Chain A
Amino acid sequence: MSLIRFRVDEAHEEPAVTLDAFLGQSNATAVRVEPGEDARVLLPFLDRLQLIEIAFPKFRDGRGYSSARILRESGFTGELRAAGDVLLDQVVILRRCGFDALASDHVLDLAKVEEALARFPAVYQKAADAKPPVWALRHG
Chain B
Amino acid sequence: MKLVTGNDLVSGDVIWWTGSGWSRFIADAVDSGTEGEAIGKREEAALRVNGPYVVEAADGPFAPVPLHIKERIRASGPTVRTDLGVQAEKQH
The answer to whether any beta carbons of A and B sit under 8 Å apart in the complex is no
A residues whose Cβ falls under 8 Å from a Cβ of B: none
Which chain B residues have a beta carbon within 8 Å of chain A's beta carbons? none
